[in-house]
Amino acid sequence: KGGIRVNSSACLRRGCKALLDIVCAEDPWDQVEEASGSARIYFVWSGQALLQRLCHPGATEKVPRLPSSAWVNRFPGIGCICDKVNMALALRLLQKLWPEKFRFWPKSWLLPAETDELCQWLDKHKASTVIVKPEGGSQGEGIFLVQDAPSLRLKLSAKAHYGAGFGALAQRYLPAPLLLDGLKFDLRLYVVVTSLDPLVAYMCKEGLARFCTAKYEEPTAANANEAYMHLTNYSVNKKSTAFKDEDPFDIHTQASKRPLGTLLSQIAAQEANEGRSFDESKLFAAFEEVCAVLLQAMVPVMKVTYDRVAKEAKPKPRTKAKAKSPKKGKQLDEDEEGEEEDDEDESDEFAPNCFQILGVDVLLDKSLQPWLLEVNARPSLDISNPVRLKDAPAGSRRCVCRDMDGEDHCHVHSEVDVRVKRLAVDGALRLAAADGEPPAPPEGFMKMDFDRYSPSEAQETLQAVARIFQEAGGAKKAFTTSGLRRALANAVSAGLAAHELDTLVTKWKHQGYRQDIHSEDDNAEIGVLDFAALLQEIALVRSGKEEDPLDALVSLIELCDPG
C-alpha cells in the first residue's frame, strides 16, 4: 500500500505477530513478511534474530544485513541486562553514587552471595517479610515469601540447582500496598528507548493494571504461599477461578486487567471518598522518575554491549582475488602480492539504529509512591486471554497449549490488551520512523526529561566508567593488573600505589555477584558493573575513604578519562 515498511519476518511469537498485523493494517505502515524484504523498521523477537539481522559472527542463520538507514527494535544484550539480579547490580551501582534518588527501590539482597547478611536482617526484623525472585525467572515462576532465616535456608536448599549457578534477588516485601476493592495490583508501564548517547526515551501515558484475585491480607506464615493474594503477575492470576474478564473501560469495573487510564479514575474516586485529593500529574512525575533513574543505571552496560556487538558485526572490507604470476617462477611486484582491499574505509563505524520497548513494572503504596518491581526487555505483546472452555463462547475451539496447566481452554480476544499494546507499539514504530533528532513524542507519549532527575555529573560519570572499561580492554582484560594499570596510568603517575590496584583487582575479579545469562545469544557486558564498583573502591582508597563516593569517583575519572 506504499507506506513505511515494517519487516516482521523474525517476529515468530503468534501473539506478537497478531498485534503487529493490527498495527500495520493502519496508515502509515506496510508490513513485509519475507526475511529478504527491505524495510525501514525490522521487528525481531529474540537476541539471535538481532544478530542475524546484523550479520554478526554469532548468528546461526544468514539474512540480509540491516540497511544503514533502517531501525531494529532491540538493543544487543538487553535480555541479560534486564535480568533481576543484573538489574539489581546496576541499580546498586547508581544508588551508591546518588542515594537520595532511590526511595523507589526496596532493600535488596543478592543470593546466594548475601544469604548470611539477609538471615541476620531477618533475625533482627521479626515482623518483616522478604520476597525472593530467582534470576532468569519469568511469569512468577519460583517466587516465594519468607519471614525467618530457617525458612529461607530451607526453601533455598530445595531449589534443584541451588549452589550450582543459582542466583536470586531478595527484596523486602512492601508492607502497605495500595488496594482497590481489597485487592493488591501492579502496573505495567511502557518505555521506548531510541538512543543511548545521548540517552533519549519516551514513556507511554497508557499502561496496564494487573490485579490479584484473592483479597489481600498482611503476610503470615499461614498465607505466605497464597500466590493469588500476594503475586500480581497476570500469568499467575489468569489461572484463578476468581479472575474477572469484565468491561475494562467502565469506571466501575472489577476486571482483573484494566488500562491505566481506568485505574487512575478509580484511584481518584477512592481518594476522594477518603477525603484526599489526587494529583495525576504528580503520579506521572513519580513514574517518570523511576523510569529515568532505572535507565541511567542500565545505560553503561547497554552502551558497552552495543559498541562491542557493533564492532563484531562491522562489515569486512571486500577483497580482490590474489594476483597470479604471468610466468612460473616470476617474482610478484610488491603491489601485486597478497590481497587488495577495495575503496571501503576500514575506519568507518558500523552503528546500527536500535530502539527498545521496555515493560517497567511498579507497585503503588498507600501514599501513592511507586516502587520498582522489575523491568522486562520483552514485555508481552499478546492480545488474547486464556479462558476455560466451559466458560468460553459457544463454538470456541479447544487450544492444546499449556497456558492453563492442562485444563481445557481456548483463547479470546482481549480488548484492553489490544488498546494499550497497540498504542505502545504504534508509538514506538513512529519514533523509529520519525525524522529529526530527537523526534517529537507521538500521541499518547511523553518525552522523558533525564536532567530533571539526575545531576549531569552522575550521568557523565557513568558514561566515563564505560569508556574506561573499554580502555582497560573490556571483559577480557579489565580485571587484569595490566589492563587496569593501563586505564589508570595517570592516577598511578599522580601517586596511586600500583600494589593497591593489584590487590583490589584480585578481590573484584572473584567477587561473585555478576550473572551472565546464557539464554540469549547476545549476552551483555555485565562486567562493567563489577568494574564500576572496583573504580569506586579505588577512588575511596585514593581519597582516604572520607570523601563523598560520587566526588571521589569524579576526581579519579578526571585524572584518567580524556572524554
Asked if 361 contacts 373 with a C-beta cutoff of 8 angstroms, the reply is yes
Please provide the DSSP assignment of 124-168 as one string: H-TT--EEEEETT--TTTT-EEESSHHHHHHHHHTSTTTTTT--E
| Single-letter amino acid code for the residue at 512 | G
CA 262 and chain centroid, separation: 26
As a whole number, the mean pLDDT across the chain is 87
Q: Omega of the bond prior to 99 within 30 degrees of 0, cis?
A: no
Dig out the grid coordinates for 509 from the structure.
575479579
pLDDT digit string, tens, across residues 232-271: 999 999 999 999 988 999 999 999 999 999 999 999 999 9
Check pLDDT > 90 for residue 38: yes
Give the span between the Cα atoms of 447 and 167, in whole angstroms: 35
DSSP code at position 322: P
Q: Where do the H-state alpha helices sit in 447-526?
A: 450-453, 456-471, 474-477, 481-487, 489-493, 498-509
pLDDT digit string, tens, across residues 299-341: 999 999 999 999 999 887 765 555 554 444 444 443 333 334 4
Nearest CA among 227, 205, 206 for reference residue 216: 227
pTM to 2 decimals? Answer: 0.90
Asked if 184 contacts 211 with a C-beta cutoff of 8 angstroms, the reply is yes
- Average of per-residue pLDDT across 32-54: 95
Work out the percent of the chain whose per-residue pLDDT is above 90: 57
Q: Would strands 319-320 and 340-341 be described as parallel, antiparallel, or unpaired?
A: antiparallel
Residue 362's CB is within 10 A of a number of other CB atoms, namely 22
**What is the per-residue pLDDT for 249?**
95
Dig out the grid coordinates for 331 from the structure.
617474482
Tell me the fold of 174-296+358-450.
Answer: D-amino Acid Aminotransferase; Chain A, domain 1 (3.30.470)
Dig out the grid coordinates for 204 from the structure.
507511554
Nearest CA among 358, 357, 207 for reference residue 284: 207
| Single-letter amino acid code for the residue at 349 | E
Dig out the grid coordinates for 139 from the structure.
511469569
CA 84 and chain centroid, separation: 9
Q: Which residue has the higher pLDDT, 323 or 496?
A: 496
Asked if 524 contacts 511 with a C-beta cutoff of 8 angstroms, the reply is no
Helix (H) or strand (E) segment spanning residue 93: helix 84-97
Residues 6+ apart with CB under 8 A from 117: 109
204 band by pLDDT with thresholds 50, 70 and 90: very high
Q: Which residue has the higher pLDDT, 303 or 348?
A: 303
Check pLDDT > 60 for residue 293: yes
- Average of per-residue pLDDT across 120-126: 95
- In angstroms, what CA-CA distances link 107 with 231, 252, 312, 369? 18, 35, 38, 15
Q: Would strands 29-32 and 4-10 be described as parallel, antiparallel, or unpaired?
A: parallel
Radius of gyration of the CA atoms of the chain, in A = 26
Greatest mean pLDDT among 88-97, 137-146, 164-173, 188-197? 188-197
- Phi, psi for 42 (deg, rounded to 5): -115, 125
For residue 364, list its beta bridge partners.
370
**What is the per-residue pLDDT for 463?**
84
Dig out the grid coordinates for 552 from the structure.
571521589
Q: Is the dihedral of CA 193, 194, 198, 201 positive or negative?
A: negative
pLDDT digit string, tens, across residues 367-398: 999 999 999 999 999 998 888 877 778 878 88
| Poorest-pLDDT segment among 203-212, 304-313, 407-416 | 407-416
Nearest CA among 551, 513, 421, 431 for reference residue 20: 421
**What is the per-residue pLDDT for 160?**
58
- Average of per-residue pLDDT across 23-45: 96
Check pLDDT > 60 for residue 515: no
- Average of per-residue pLDDT across 23-52: 95
Nearest CA among 351, 52, 18, 43 for reference residue 197: 351
Give the span between the Cα atoms of 139 and 221, in whole angstroms: 23
